[in-house]
Amino acid sequence: MKMSFRWYGDKDPVTLEKIRQIPGMAVIVSAVYDVPAGEVWPEEAIAHLKEAAASNGLSFEVVESVPVHEDIKLGLPSRERLLDNYCENIRRLGRAGVRVICYNFMPVFDWLRSELERPLSDGSNALAYDDEAVRAMDPKESELSLPGWDESYTRDELRGLLDRYAAVDAEKLWENFAYFLHRVIPACKEANVSMAIHPDDPPWPLFGLPRIITGAESYRRMKQIEPSVRNGITLCTGSLGASPENDVVAIAREFAERIHFVHARNVKWTGERCFEEAPHPSAQGSLDLYEILNALYESGFDGYIRPDHGRMIWGETGRYGYGLYDRALGATYLTGLWEAIEKSHRA
Ligand code: DNO
């Protein structure tokens, strides 16, 4: 297991100088965030991330994310040029030493929460999701800004995009996803890079948009489309685990060979399709992180793992889910769990 941490680049208040002080930290997860989706990343920008990490004793080996342009998800003719660009990014990243690319195939919105600062009983606050509150939102009308909303769309662009998705149901999205995989996996083989799809978060449809990467069935179908292990998974425990129907331990075992990257965090179910983000340890949430890591260990997992969203604790403010303190506690907890699991298997 290789311990990693997400870094949003030079503007991130959680600096590499701080990240390197987390015990056991080895790898940086980052991206070129200022190039629009669909375009090719300048090699200098990639090299800069690599050098910044190296000068702090860290290694840049995982990208999160190379975003998939909406025209690819919609299956428009313009996808050919965009897919060529995607493959070029894969090759450039491979040459720079990146081994895993985390991405998602969620239409329009990435991860979504209804509350950004839910007060918890210990005085900290966390992200939370309440399905009723989300169903009452209308993304075409609302001024809301939530973590998974792409701020770069104007209201009219967003409306236009949502209208175009009216013609794309789950089957059509699968077809477009298969097309994407058939184009990018050969480039991955050439570049020695693995794709690791992030599950839809939360794992159910929103605002009438299809969501297809929601659990074990999705992974089975994905594997049939492109059997290569390069067609891999980011096991995001909190996204999958938001639904009690997903047995994350069983998923870890069944798909271990194609899990290249793990986002480890806990959630606490608070009602049907309602959850709060909890501290990482098993006792604080609804997921058993020990069992999940144990399943990975027993399946020979040797990929990258990172602590995922943290609460805001000790008065920290910053990017929701991506402060320093609670994620650092998470990393230390995960490192400790792994050490115990390893040693207990040796005994
Ligand atoms: C949220 C993240 C996601 C993830 C993308 C991958 O905290 O895990 O935004 O980066 O879905 O493309």
In the chain, beta strands by DSSP E: 2-6, 27-30, 59-64, 100-103, 115-119, 125-130, 194-197, 231-236, 259-264, 266-271, 274-278, 304-307
**The pair of three-digit structure tokens given for residue 123, joined into one six-digit string:** 């005085």
**Predicted pLDDT of residue 219:** 98
User: Separation of 236 CA from ligand 1 center, angstroms?
Assistant: 9
Active site (catalytic) residues: 198, 236, 263, 308-309, 322
Tell me which of 102, 127, 265 to substitute to probe ligand 1's pocket, judged by most ligand atoms within 8 Å of the beta carbon.
Answer: 102
Which residue has the least CA distance to atom 3 on ligand 1? Answer: 111
Query: Where does ligand 1 bind, in terms of residues with CB under 6 Å?
Result: 64-65, 102-104, 110-111, 198, 263, 309, 321
In 81-199, beta strands by DSSP E: 100-103, 115-119, 125-130, 194-197
Residue 300's CATH number: 3.20.20.150
**Predicted pLDDT of residue 148:** 61
Query: Taking 90 as the threshold, does the pLDDT of residue 138 lie above it?
Result: no
**Which ligand 1 atom sits closest to the C-alpha of 104?**
12
d(CA 294, CA 298) in angstroms, rounded, equals: 6
Which residue do the tokens 């399905």 mark? 131
Position 347 confidence tier, pLDDT thresholds 50, 70, 90: confident
Position 139 confidence tier, pLDDT thresholds 50, 70, 90: confident
**Predicted pLDDT of residue 154:** 79
Which residue has the least CA distance to atom 1 on ligand 1? Answer: 111
Among the listed residues 19, 3, 57, the one whose alpha carbon sits nearest the alpha carbon of residue 336? 3
d(CA 252, CA 233) in angstroms, rounded, equals: 10
Hey, what amino acid is at 1? M
User: Separation of 253 CA from ligand 1 center, angstroms?
Assistant: 22
Query: Taking 80 as the threshold, does the pLDDT of residue 310 lie above it?
Result: yes
Kindly report whether the global pTM for this prediction surpasses the value 0.95: yes
- pLDDT tens digit sequence for 178-190: 999 999 999 999 9
User: Separation of 58 CA from ligand 1 center, angstroms?
Assistant: 21
- pLDDT tens digit sequence for 212-255: 999 999 999 999 999 999 999 999 999 999 999 999 999 999 99
* Structural contact between residues 71 and 180, judged by C-beta atoms closer than 8 angstroms: no
d(CA 325, CA 20) in angstroms, rounded, equals: 13
Query: Taking 70 as the threshold, does the pLDDT of residue 144 lie above it?
Result: no
- pLDDT tens digit sequence for 71-123: 999 999 999 999 999 999 999 999 999 999 999 999 999 999 999 999 999 99
Query: Taking 70 as the threshold, does the pLDDT of residue 69 lie above it?
Result: yes
**Which ligand 1 atom sits closest to the C-alpha of 106?**
11
User: Separation of 187 CA from ligand 1 center, angstroms?
Assistant: 22
**The pair of three-digit structure tokens given for residue 80, joined into one six-digit string:** 């050919």
The number of domains in the chain is 1
**The pair of three-digit structure tokens given for residue 77, joined into one six-digit string:** 């003719």
Domain, as residue range, for 268: 2-346
By DSSP bridging, strand 304-307 and strand 2-6 are parallel
Hey, what amino acid is at 112? L
> Poorest-confidence range of 28-32, 145-149, 213-217, 263-267?
145-149
d(CA 54, CA 345) in angstroms, rounded, equals: 33
Query: Taking 70 as the threshold, does the pLDDT of residue 143 lie above it?
Result: no
Position 150 confidence tier, pLDDT thresholds 50, 70, 90: low
Give the residue ranges of DSSP H helices in the chain: 16-19, 43-54, 70-74, 79-95, 131-135, 155-164, 170-191, 216-225, 237-241, 248-254, 289-298, 325-346
- pLDDT tens digit sequence for 151-162: 667 788 888 999
| Angle ∠(251,252,255) on CA atoms, nearest 5 | 75
Portion of the chain with pLDDT greater than 90, in percent: 90
User: Could you check whether the bond before residue 145 is cis, i.e. omega within 30 degrees of 0?
Assistant: no
**The pair of three-digit structure tokens given for residue 330, joined into one six-digit string:** 């998470």
The whole-chain average pLDDT of the chain stands at 95
**The pair of three-digit structure tokens given for residue 243, joined into one six-digit string:** 């639904």
d(CA 80, CA 216) in angstroms, rounded, equals: 30
Residue partners of 307: CB distance under 8 A and separation at least 6: 5, 264, 265, 280, 327, 328, 329, 330, 331, 333, 334
**Predicted pLDDT of residue 151:** 65
Stretch 26-38: mean pLDDT, rounded? 96
Tell me which of 111, 212, 277 to substitute to probe ligand 1's pocket, judged by most ligand atoms within 8 Å of the beta carbon.
Answer: 111
Beta bridge partners of 11: none
Which residue has the least CA distance to atom 2 on ligand 1? Answer: 111
Hey, what amino acid is at 91? R
**Predicted pLDDT of residue 329:** 98
